[in-house]
Amino acid sequence: MTTAPSPLWTTRTTEVNMTGTWRSELPNYLNTPSPCHNACPVNGEIATWIQEIKGKDYHAAWLTLMENNPFPAIAGRICHHPCETPCNRKEMDEAVAICSLERFVGDVALDEKWAIPAADITKNEKIAVVGGGPSGLSAAYQLRRRGYAVTLFEANQQLGGLMRYGIPSYRLAKEVLDGEIKRIVDLGVEIKTGVGEIDEKAVKKLREEFDAVYLAIGASRSKKLPSLDYSQPWVMDSAKFLAATNMGESIKIGDHVVVIGGGSAAMDVARTARRFDKKVSVLSLEPEALMPAQREEVVEAKEEDVTFLDGAMLQSVNADASGELELNCIRVEFEPGSVRGQFKITPLEGTEFKIKANLIVPALGQEVALDRWASLSS
């Protein structure tokens, strides 16, 4: 007797689901991490918490997320989601929306005011954390829940670091940031803000008072463009621009802002300047397809009327007495190197052009200022 195959199970595509009923099947990785897990910067158990979401156990999903990352609502908004690039699902149609799912769970946790229970201090060692950005706060969180007494020192008056001073509020609302930071502070972390920059002498003193010191100083120094005179009033690096606009400080922008760079920081500056109703142009060495910024950032910037001058470089700047600038630029051939950040550019003769502007904001990325810790030994 021949039994007809069940119409409820098919490996063929349908008009609605290209994968048929295989759409909910999962590969079983025995000898290697799943591609999404392998790509996650915080080593998150992505498959686990997505299955918990599937079962509508959002609290369990949140607890799984919180094992590795105390900022799911923040990461769900600003992470560049490298986990989605190698996702197996792309072989069928498109990647699982991992970042959006993380944001969903993080937002539910904030709405429901879920908290991690404060652990008793069970360890004898006292730990100092220098820096109240994502690294310092994460370290304080993990140490505190393991029973250590933790004191966190922050140079600024508010915690958050780059998340507060470098990410525009249209990408990361301050109430989301404050909510996830409060959850860490409520674990019993002692907070000391407004302490100013902690130098080598101060660190050596902390090492006498504490059993361990964790330096979470962040990548706070902007990379410089050698051809620009940063002492001029018409040049403002991206970190200062974003910090000032995030804090509501008044800055002189003028009518036309030129942003130099093709990464996420450049997109943040450009889109922030547009919110002041200014004309904005982005000048990048890379052609648009090779810009390090996320594709959606570029698309959204274009939708907001940001002009892109890609595959081009600044050669010189002429400034008149009124502050009007003339940027002399040239088109280039861009060849990426084998290592991220390495490239070769060839100026193309006869492609010179000029841009009128009032403010130049170089946004070439950040680096860690390690020189001030040179004499520290382990």
**pLDDT value of position 92:** 78
Q: How far is CA 86 from CA 39, 45, 290, in A?
A: 8, 15, 18
Contact 341, 218 (CB under 8 A): no
Contact 355, 230 (CB under 8 A): no
Q: Let me know the angle formed at the C-alpha of 273 by 267 and 277, rounded to the nearest 5 degrees.
A: 135
**pLDDT value of position 8:** 47
CB neighbour class for 350 (10 Å; exposed up to 12, middle 13-18, buried from 19): exposed
Q: Which fold has domain 222-365?
A: FAD/NAD(P)-binding domain (3.50.50)
**pLDDT value of position 14:** 55
Whole-model pTM over 0.85: yes
Range 358-372 burial, b when 16+ CB lie within 10 A, else e: bbbbbbbbbeeeeee
Q: Outline which parts of the chain fall under CATH 1.10.1060.10.
A: 31-112
List of E strands, the chain:
126-130, 149-153, 190-192, 212-215, 221-222, 256-260, 279-284, 307-310, 312-319, 325-336, 343-347, 353-357, 359-362, 366-367
Q: Which two tokens stand for residue 232?
A: 């001029």
**pLDDT value of position 7:** 45
pLDDT for 296-323, tens place per residue?
Answer: 999 999 999 999 999 999 999 999 988 8
Q: Which two tokens stand for residue 322?
A: 């009124």
Alpha helix (H) ranges present in the chain?
35-39, 46-54, 58-68, 72-78, 98-112, 134-144, 162-165, 174-185, 200-209, 238-246, 264-274, 295-303
Q: Which residues contact 57 (CB under 8 A, 6 or more apart)?
A: none
Contact 238, 261 (CB under 8 A): yes
Place of tokens 């940027």: 327
CATH of 31-112, one of 1.10.10.10, 1.10.1060.10, 1.10.390.10, 2.30.42.10: 1.10.1060.10
Q: Which residues contact 126 (CB under 8 A, 6 or more apart)?
A: 148, 149, 150, 151, 209, 210, 211
Q: Outline which parts of the chain fall under CATH 3.50.50.60.
A: 126-218, 222-365
How many residues in total does the chain contain? 378
Calpha distance 85→67 (Å, rounded) = 23
Q: Which two tokens stand for residue 104?
A: 């969903």
**pLDDT value of position 111:** 98
**pLDDT value of position 284:** 97
> At 72, phi and psi to the nearest 5?
-65, -40
CA within 13 Å, CB half, 313 = 17
**pLDDT value of position 371:** 76
**pLDDT value of position 15:** 58
pLDDT for 30-42, tens place per residue?
Answer: 778 889 999 999 9
Closest CA to 255 of 278, 234, 233: 278
CA quadruple 293, 299, 302, 308: dihedral positive or negative?
positive
Q: Which CATH architecture has domain 126-218?
A: 3-Layer(bba) Sandwich (3.50)
**pLDDT value of position 16:** 56
Cα 103 to the center of its chain, rounded Å: 14
Residues of the chain predicted below pLDDT 50: 1, 3, 5-9
Q: How far is CA 311 from CA 288, 314, 335, 355, in A?
A: 8, 11, 10, 15
Contact 345, 315 (CB under 8 A): no
R_g of the chain computed on alpha carbons = 24
